Amino acid sequence: MSTNRPLRVAIVGAGPAGIYAADILSKTGLDVSIDLFERLPAPFGLVRYGVAPDHPRIKQIIVALHKVLERGDIRLLANVEYGVDLKLEDMRQFYDAVIFSTGSIRDAALPIPGIDLDGSFGAADFVSWYDGHPDAPRTWPLEAREVAVLGAGNVALDVARVLAKHADDLLPTEIPANVYDILKASPVTDVHVFARRGPAQVKFSPLELRGLGHVPDVDVIVYPEDFEFDEGSMAAIHSSNQTKQVVKTLTDWTLKEPEEFTASRRIHLHFLHKPVEVLGEDGKVVGLRTERTALNGDGNVTGTGETHDWPVQAVYRAVGYFGSPLVDIPFDEVGGVIPNREGRVVDVDGEPVPGVYATGWIKRGPVGLIGHTKSDASETIRHLVEDAGGVESPAQEFATAAEPDPQAVVDFLVARGVQPIEWSGWEQLDAFERALGEPHGRERIKVVPREEMVQIALGTVRPQG
C-alpha cells in the first residue's frame, strides 16, 4: 500500500552537501516535504565559514545554493542543533527519514611532542576565526614573525597565504573588521610550509598553487635540494595532469634568482621534511624540529634520522579535518565519519539503520571539493528513494512519522525555547550584511557574534550597523 501523504525528510546540516541533497531529493518526482536543519544562524557551511575570503569566485557558489533555498519548497530551520535541540527519537516522531550532512569542522590530531604549546594552533580554528565563524574567538594572537604551517594540502595554502598577505589586500573581501585589524598589526615576515613527502606528492590544486605566486609583496621560495622524484613520483606525474602542473609550477620557482626576491614577506615551501616536535620555552613555541625524509620508490617516505630546527614562534597544523560524533548515530572513530554503505547508515553489525542516511564530508571523510558533494548527494538520495519504494508509490511502511504535520516540529522546538531561523530570517541577515558592506564598496561585511546574528535574523533587535 502506498502513502497518502508527502514523505517527511529532515536533512541535518545546511552546507553544500545538505543543500544539494535537498535539491536533488526535491527533483526526484517523489511527493516529499523537506526540512533542512542547521546549527548556525546562517546556512552554507564551509562555503561561508571555510572557503578563504580572497576566493570570491568560489564564495559565489553561495549564489547557486541560495537559489535552491529561495525557491521555497525546502524549509530552512537554522539555529537548531541536532543532538542538543532535538535527537534521533524526536526526529523519528516528525520525519520518515533523516539525512546527516554535518561535515567535519575539527582539526585532525597531530600527535607530536609540543603540539599543545602556547602558539601551536589548528588550521580549522584559524580558518573559523578569519572567516568570522560565530563560535570562534573574537581575537587571535598574531604575534609571530616566523611561522610554520604543517601539511601540504589546499588548507595549508589558504592558511599560509592569509598569514602572509598584507591585510589591506584582504580588505575588499568580506572579512570582519576584527579580523582585518588583527591581520593589519601582524608582524609576520616568513611563513614556512612543511610537506612530509616530495613535490609530486603534495595535495595542492594547480590553480591554488599558481595563485600563491601572485600575492602582492609576498615571495614564494622553494629549495632545489628538496626536489626529489622517485619512480612513484614519475608515475604520478605521468598519470595525473594536476600533478604535472603542480610539479611544473614548483620546478619553475626553483629557477628564480636570489635578486628576484624583493618582497617584505616570504612563503617558503619545504618538501621532504616531516614535523617531529614543536620546540618550546616557558610553555611557548620557539621552534619546530623536522626530520629529513627520503622517498621509498612508491611515493611514500621514511625518515633519515637527520633533523633540522627552525626558529618559529607559531605553528599551524593543516593536516586535515576530522568529523564529530552525533548523539545516537553510529560513528567510526578511526575515519571520523558516520559508517555507511553508499549513504545508508549502518550500525556496528553492518546492518542498515532504517530511515537514516549520510552525505558529504561526514559520509566519506574530509576530502574533496564542493562539487564532489553533489555526486555524493545523488548516491544517497538514490538509495533513499529505493528504500521508500520508488517515486511512483512510496510504501506505507516507509512513512513512519507519527506527527508529519510540518508545524508539529516547529511547535516542539519553540516549546523547548529554541528559536528556529527560517529562510526569511536568513534573507534579513543577508541584507543586513550587504548593507554593512555597501558604504565601503564591499559586497558584504559579516556579522560575527551569534546573538547579534540571531537578533537580526529574527528581527527582534536592530543592532547599530
Ligand X SMILES: Cc1cc2nc3c(=O)[nH]c(=O)nc-3n(C[C@H](O)[C@H](O)[C@H](O)COP(=O)(O)OP(=O)(O)OC[C@H]3O[C@@H](n4cnc5c(N)ncnc54)[C@H](O)[C@@H]3O)c2cc1C
Ligand Y SMILES: NC(=O)c1ccc[n+]([C@@H]2O[C@H](COP(=O)([O-])OP(=O)(O)OC[C@H]3O[C@@H](n4cnc5c(N)ncnc54)[C@H](OP(=O)(O)O)[C@@H]3O)[C@@H](O)[C@H]2O)c1
Single out the residue of 34, 79, 82, 380 in contact with ligand X (rule: CB under 6 A).
82
In the complex, what is the shortest distance from the CB of residue 347 to ligand X, in angstroms, rounded to a whole number? 20
Single out the residue of 93, 205, 307, 313 in contact with ligand Y (rule: CB under 6 A).
205
Mark the segment that binds ligand X (CB under 6 A) among 37-45, 168-176, 181-189, 455-463: 37-45
Mark the segment that binds ligand X (CB under 6 A) among 32-40, 183-191, 252-260, 454-462: 32-40
- Under rule CB under 6 A, residue 197 binds ligand Y: yes
- Under rule CB under 6 A, residue 114 binds ligand Y: no
* Residues of span 410-449 touching ligand X by CB under 6 A: none
Residue number of the CB closest to ligand Y reads 153
Separation of alpha carbons 37 and 399, rounded Å: 20
In the complex, what is the shortest distance from the CB of residue 196 to ligand X, in angstroms, rounded to a whole number? 20
How many other CB atoms are there within 10 angstroms of residue 227's CB atom? Answer: 17
Cell of 144: 609571530
In the complex, what is the shortest distance from the CB of residue 56 to ligand Y, in angstroms, rounded to a whole number? 12
Residue pair 174/442 in contact by the 8 Å Cβ criterion: yes
3-state helix, strand, coil in the chain (%, to 5): 35, 25, 40
Mark the segment that binds ligand Y (CB under 6 A) among 289-297, 326-334, 367-375, 392-400: 367-375
Cell of 410: 516547529
Task: Name the binder of 151 from ligand Y, ligand X, none, CB < 5-8 A by kind.
Answer: ligand Y
Task: Name the binder of 275 from ligand X, ligand Y, none, CB < 5-8 A by kind.
Answer: ligand Y
Single out the residue of 133, 161, 203, 344 in contact with ligand Y (rule: CB under 6 A).
203
Cell of 100: 546527516
Closer of 12 and 191 to ligand X (Cβ): 12
Instruction: List the Cα angle 81/59/9 in 5-degree steps.
Output: 35
Task: Name the binder of 14 from ligand Y, ligand X, none, CB < 5-8 A by kind.
Answer: ligand X
In the complex, what is the shortest distance from the CB of residue 286 to ligand X, in angstroms, rounded to a whole number? 27
Angle between helices 372-388 and 16-26 (to 10 degrees): 40
* Residues of span 132-151 touching ligand Y by CB under 6 A: 150-151
In the complex, what is the shortest distance from the CB of residue 366 to ligand X, in angstroms, rounded to a whole number? 7
SS (H, E, C) 256-315: CCHHHCCCCEEEEEECCEEEEEEEEECCEEEEEEEEEEEECCCCCEEEEEEEEEECCCEE
Closest to 156 in 3D by CA, of 315, 266, 44, 313: 315
Residue number of the CB closest to ligand X reads 15
Residue pair 227/247 in contact by the 8 Å Cβ criterion: no
Angle between helices 123-130 and 154-164 (to 10 degrees): 50
Binding mask 86-105 for ligand X (x = CB under 6 A): ---------------xxx--
The 3-state DSSP class for residue 340 equals: strand
Single out the residue of 7, 9, 11, 14 in contact with ligand X (rule: CB under 6 A).
14
Angstrom CA distances, 62 to 43, 45, 59, 368, 458, stand at: 9, 10, 6, 17, 21
Backbone angles phi, psi at 189, to 5 degrees: -125, -35
Positions touching ligand X (CB under 6 A) are 12-18, 37-40, 45-47, 50-51, 55, 58, 81-83, 101-103, 127, 155, 158, 321, 326, 360-361, 368-370, 373
- The site for ligand Y (CB under 6 A) is made up of 110, 150-156, 158, 195-197, 201, 203, 205, 208, 275, 318-321, 366-369
